[in-house]
Structures are given as C-alpha cells and as structure tokens.
Amino acid sequence: MHNERLQAYIEKMIPDRSDLIMEMEAYAKEHKVPIMEIEGIEAMLQLLRIQQPQSILEVGTAIGYSALRMAYALPDIRIVTIERDAERYEEAEKFIARSGKEEHIAIIKGDALEVEDEIKDKGPYDSIFIDAAKGQYKRFFEIYSKYLNVDGLIITDNVLFKGLVYESEIENKRIRNLVRKINDFNQWLMNNEDYHTVILPIGDGVAISKRK
C-alpha cells in the first residue's frame, strides 16, 4: 500500500522474528499460503498490546502464523482459531506444537460458517480477528460479533485487497466479483451504526472496529 522505497524502509526497520516465525514466513512464501503482511501484523500486535485482551477469536488459522504472533506478543492470552482446510490445519498443529504455546491456542477444524455453537461455548472474546474467505467477511462479522465483549475490537485484514478496491476496471471476472464483495463489506462496515471503524492503509489494508 506504500511506494516500494517507503515499504522497503518500513520492513527493514522491523526486527527479526524468532527462528520458528521466520521459518513459517518462508514456508508461507514457498507454498503460497496467505499470511498477514509483515507491517500489517506488526501494527495489529501493537494495537493488541495496548488493548491487552484476555481472549481472542481468529477466523482463519491458515498455518497458525497470526495466532502464534499474537500468543508471543501476549503471553497470557487465550486464542480460539478456526481453519477449514485440512492440510493447513495439520501444518498449524505442527507449528503450534513446536512453539510451546499449545496451552494458549485451541484450533477448531471446520468451516467458520458452520461452527458457531462451538465458538460460542468458548466465548466471549475481547478481540476478534477476521482473515479468512474475503467474500464471506460480512457473514463472519455478523455471526461472531455477537460474542464480542462490550469493549471489544474486531480487526479485519485484506480490506484494500492489493489496491484493487479502488480500481474501476478489472478484467478477471472472479477477481472483479471478489473486489465487489470486499467493497460492499467495507461500505457496510464503515456505516455500521454499532461500530466505530477506521481503515488503515498498511499491509493489505486493515480495518479496526470498536463497539460504540
């Protein structure tokens, strides 16, 4: 979301992560697993350090990268995270087992649109992080915001979708439809009467929503 020189400068200033986290970043790059961009996750972690949540719900585990970043940043946190892809679920289990954070992270295997009862039983949550199927963001928000504590935050990644949300002509039909859904979600979120929301142009675009 920045010009290349500015983005390179910001990334250069970010300290190296642990060996395990760096390994996960390399794995994600090699296997084309979508994980949160480095400047985006650093901003989110700082926000969470300020908020100091005791419990977090993550919609979209992938290989466990964001969950582990949050667990390292907040040593006493309890994280519940949802993943429907069997291969990514297994990789997340392996990485989390190596991290020493198994007691802090519970992975729910299943579609986030279908596991509400299980998530409800483990709530409520101080923060919710949405980073899964972008075309379903509005449904994820509507389903799980019910289990957010009064002073809670909802953080949503990829809301600027590589800048395509402000492009008027997109040839690929599938991408065009997805961008439309993200735009619709952004409009709905920014005009939601129950939340104050700001979109930060960092990483791939991060929306921060707080209950009014």
> According to the annotation, is 83 in a ligand binding site?
yes
Handedness of CA 202, 14, 36, 30 (dihedral sign): positive
> According to the annotation, is 66 in a ligand binding site?
yes
CA pair distance 79, 65, nearest whole angstrom: 12
Nearest CA among 79, 38, 40 for reference residue 60:
79
| SS3 call for 131 | coil
> According to the annotation, is 39 in a ligand binding site?
no
> According to the annotation, is 127 in a ligand binding site?
no
> According to the annotation, is 131 in a ligand binding site?
yes
> According to the annotation, is 177 in a ligand binding site?
no
- Contact of 148 with 128, CB cutoff 8 Å: yes
> According to the annotation, is 158 in a ligand binding site?
yes
> According to the annotation, is 192 in a ligand binding site?
no
| SS3 call for 58 | strand
Instruction: Supply 108's token pair.
Output: 């729910």
From the CB of residue 201, how many other CB atoms can be counted at a distance below 10 Å?
13
Known binding-site positions: 36, 66, 83, 111-112, 131, 157-158
Q: Name the binding residues for S-adenosyl-L-methionine.
A: 36, 66, 83, 111-112, 131
List residues forming the annotated binding site for Mg(2+). 131, 157-158
